[in-house]
A and B are shown apart, each in its own frame.
Chain A
């Protein structure tokens, strides 16, 4: 396996899982970041703790908890299966769920910093000009936190692409279904004589990670220029 269909299958599956995880998590991350940055409410600390839990918990534990909750007999997984026939465990959508949950705290942190950096005076100015809170959010707040959102997205995507522990626990590494780049590398390393294939997967990981970083740097510079010139 070097550039055979199996190799590309692993790469595209990984990209699909990471992209799905990031895209689905992003709006939720913006909402939670807004809640944590802008609202004082009872249970603020609890929400904050829950969001950050996957960051500090051993990933295997997170994966196991996902299996309990989202497995076919779990409280949420059971309902999903009965109502919609959807199975997350041992399925690529489950891999996306695991990757999304692991990436979530990183996304929330970056976006929350963005919210906290926005001068609320500028939002007040927009309100005096007749803009409803919704319009202020869409036309002033969101554009101003765009760099934070971008940073959170790239960080989240990279994390999702590299997620291993929770994914392999929740969905295992079924070739063509849930085998991502990290689990494929791990699997190949267990078999003597497969180092050659590993090199290419490692190279793809490095290229994808570097590409994401370079693109985000470029976008961030463009955004900063727009604000500063």
Chain B
């Protein structure tokens, strides 16, 4: 079922004007704090009334300027940043407050079996968010809204909850809107990526396409800008201490033992860590060298140049200074080698 959002609202100095279609799968709303992301999902949940516009779920109009379906009739599962569990209820009572659809299965998947008789105050941050996720799912929502559900958690707790979210998103055929400004969550979860800046949608599309476009790079931290590629773990070489991945551009090597053989994973190739050479380089340490053709060269907002490459089936891009590009005479159509260290890329 498709969720269609087209809303306008004046929020103090910020003018919110967002249009987006949300299909089944995970749509990540990404952008700086104060960009209006949370307001968008609050409007979808019915917790915020926009000034004008329309929100439709399938054929059902939820908001159109006059009509405004109240939150309790919208069937939107909402996982808040601060969990918002009912402090006076046990975990079991929290979970079943909005219904108990797939109770056993959800308790099992989220590992909540041991917590059912506890109260929220006795739970860790990660446990609270798992309960909040389970509670939203058991209400049998038509859409799942998540507002930075991992932001309040520390690193290890994040990696405790993230796989659960990924699994639920993958196994349930419903639109999931996930608000974050953490790149790792974008690369692990997103099917669609919507970049929100200053109340407007700056870019939207399949995550791989958006990240392959250097123009979207300014919305990410410098270390995070770069192409996202999908690989499959081919083998582990324990003696050499590497993992070999199969990708559309040939094998890619990673340090250490990553994933299980046969498992798909996404790899972010930071544009600042990709080096280009006209010839196949010998006698250097970087393990990954893939042949590619220069597709285009674009100017980045910071004055550097984005050299966009087609490496067999994969689009990747490198950030170079104008000086490098001029000295080596790079231009569209040229064959080059893209070189990056195994340690520069990692499963995100």
Contacts and interface: CB of A to CB of B under 8 A. Distances in A.
A43 interface: no
B71 A227 contact: no
Interface string A20-58: 000000000000000000000000000000000000000
B63 interface: no
Contacts of A227: 87-88, 119, 121
B88 A131 contact: no
Contact of A228 (B45, B76, B99, B121): B121
Q: Give the contact-size bracket for chain B.
A: 20 to 34
A229 B118 CA distance: 8
Interface in B85-106: 85-88, 97-99
A121 B82 contact: yes
Contact of B78 (A125, A139, A144, A229): A125
A130 B45 CA distance: 11
Interface residues of A, number: 21
A94 B203 CA distance: 71
B77, B97, B122: residue with the most chain A Cβ atoms closer than 10 Å = B97
B80 A130 contact: no
Contacts of A139: 97
B72 interface: yes
Interface string A122-141: 10111111111100000110
Given A127-B70, A228-B121, A121 B87 contact: no
Nearest to B96: A129
A126 to B, nearest CB: 7
B71 A127 contact: yes
B254 to A, nearest CB: 41
A228 B336 CA distance: 63
A130 B139 contact: yes
A128 B86 contact: no
A85 interface: no
A226 B88 contact: yes
Contacts of B99: 129-130
A121 B88 contact: no
Contacts of A126: 86, 97
B76 A128 contact: yes
Interface string A193-229: 0000000000000000000000000000000001111
Mostly, the A contact residues are helix
Nearest to B119: A229
B40 to A, nearest CB: 15
A227 B121 CA distance: 7
Nearest to B77: A128
Contacts of A122: 84-87
B310 interface: no
B98 A129 contact: yes
A130 B74 CA distance: 8
A128 B78 contact: yes
A119 B65 CA distance: 28
B146 to A, nearest CB: 12
Nearest to A140: B86
Contacts of B84: 119, 121-122, 124-125
A176 interface: no
A129 B70 contact: no
A229 B119 CA distance: 6
A121 B84 CA distance: 7
A33 to B, nearest CB: 19
B98 to A, nearest CB: 3
Interface string B138-158: 010000000000000000000
A125 B87 contact: no
B71 A124 contact: yes
Contacts of B73: 130
Given A119-B84, A121-B82, A229-B122, A127 B97 contact: no
A226 B78 CA distance: 25
Nearest to A228: B121
Nearest to A143: B88
Interface in A181-203: none
B176 to A, nearest CB: 15
Contact of B47 (A127, A129, A143, A228): A127
Given A228-B121, A229-B121, A229-B122, A128 B88 contact: no
A130 B47 contact: no
A218 B76 CA distance: 40
A183 B97 CA distance: 51
Contacts of A133: 72
21 contacts: A124-B47, A124-B71, A125-B78, A125-B80, A125-B84, A125-B86, A126-B97, A127-B70, A128-B45, A128-B46, A128-B76, A128-B77, A128-B139, A129-B135, A129-B136, A130-B72, A130-B139, A133-B72, A143-B88, A226-B88, A228-B121
Given A128-B46, A128-B139, A227-B87, 4 more contacts: A127-B46, A128-B76, A128-B78, A129-B97
The 3 residue pairs across chains A and B that have the minimum distance between CB atoms: A129-B98, A125-B84, A127-B71
Interface of B: 45-47, 70-78, 80, 82, 84-88, 97-99, 119, 121-122, 135-136, 139
Interface of A: 119, 121-122, 124-133, 139-140, 143-144, 226-229
